[in-house]
Structure 1
């Protein structure tokens, strides 16, 4: 067994041992043990999360609550911290939604929401945050209850450290909801107010600001009006470019990840979050303006900065560029000037992985599709042909076709493992012919 495997086993074993002791402790001792468990959770990797946070664990917690062996406050202390880590580390935990604990939380949330007097606002927010953090799918009824509750917490404007943490937690929770449909009257006024206040006063933490934007960008798919607000009123592209460039500039990227300070490690998480937000933006946006060019340049610079040490961020950079190439409103000329070089490099690096390779192939497949679309206007058609010639020459110079050919036998394998967008099996679909 490797040293790494032993370390992982020790972490999960220690967590499970502490958990088994909880029902034999009084509330204060239980709280102390949970704080120890939360420290272990901070260091867990994805596999450890999935091995521990199963339906059996959630059902056991539910039984302990039922038998009054664990208070709801201590339950929240454990699960809210775990949920936050699960979100930050991008781990999918499907088992909570099927557990008896999820049913308990739903009933408690609905009961608290219906109270006219003596409503415990903190408990209400905590329950909603735990429920969304841990749940893979939130039905429309629970969305309508939880989202306004959490946004109310996120609207707090006091500048105390405690309030900042509460606001950060609320916005981080909302950013984990993905593209699920929400009626805009549930959130648009509030999230717009939060972002505008941030732009004026810079009161949010970096993570909270990025989370607020991701929540808004993920709503594009349901309403183009929201996109117009984000683009024309809140100026997302300008904000994202500025935030990304500032974050990249304040980290010493020469140091190894394990040598970074806690603050720098947190900023790496925020950079990863911004890159995913931009990826989501390129996937959905329909309003082009010239500021896009600088945003694409920032992603390219980010890739060049992190490529040697941070493979996850490198992947999200290439994935963002792939989405830009697939967006019908992003001119292919801007991709040629700024992005083609780094995507070629991403394919040709010896340390490639299947996910990165797939995103690179999709990028060039999308570029090829764009360049095959003939223009009705004669001048635009001439420009298209000139662009094709430039890309053809670059690909020929870099040995791009040979690189594609070397991966061609893997296409079926890649399609089985990365099925969201299936790669064409026709190798000519990746080439640019003049």
Structure 2
């Protein structure tokens, strides 16, 4: 998408596994369960089957060459500066590579060890923290949000389960015009969780709890506050001590401000409010907080894909509930608690100005796919991370092509001013 086009997208994509799994960006940020006709038509045709297809093909030199060619083609066609990719499966091999540039000005190449902003993949961490507290008996999934946070519209009816399942009916704060203006006027200014909720709560609810699915970042801000109250410490600390620490993710954390450790790529976006692409590397992600502000590395995310999808940190019963979706888009795509299930893959995508990511796990083959991009610019109505994930999985897992229903992640792009 160019600067001359308008676009409304959910913050943090959350946008990226099916978040984002995200419907094509052109469909808008909010969507109902019954809304996604034609989603599967966006997936590329799989290659001709071979004797090694199965659930996940062996990463031979020939398969790697096919992946390389597909990635490089999409980088050219979609104008993606760079991407880091990791593929792995027991008995099938592993392949990690960086493509393209990390800095357009200097031409410095992408490198596999870079830190990256992961957008709505943050949701998988926040929901895991909440579910750990369920396992401890500190809260219940059917508790109303009013028990923990005051002033929530329909707060006595909306449960924690509704929030995690994206079935609350609350207005998505990243769709509020005043929020968008504040972010675009001062993208480096910090925002508090209460400020974010204020943008949401001035709007009436969109529907009654559990009436339908609608991807909404407000839900995760509330769950972040629930974790803080029930866990007795700031969310960043709780995640470090109870989620990323036990999972062995040394380079994954929720920043408390705009900090972004080196090394990292420069992030490019056309969501700056003007007609030109801008560098969003140093924008403050506090506006995304528990919905999309975390930082990680591809290697950490590769580990997290399995941990999250198999429920290592949770009781088996709790993990089973997490992966039992109340929202299904079709026979192959659904949303559980803070996680997408898409054509056999389990995980999430992420998107915020300048960066996108995908982290998914295929239980059938114990395979992982991780992508980290340094742009969120949409190409022909598709998130760039979706284009790459579809192309790669059409090669390595042709029976399980990554497919998404909409774009829930970065802040929507406003209409440009007349002067632009």
* TM-score with structure 1 setting the length: 0.25
* TM-score, reference length from structure 2: 0.26
Which one has a larger percent strand, Structure 1 or Structure 2?
Answer: 2
> Which structure has the larger Rg over C-alpha atoms?
1
Q: Which has the higher helix share?
A: 1
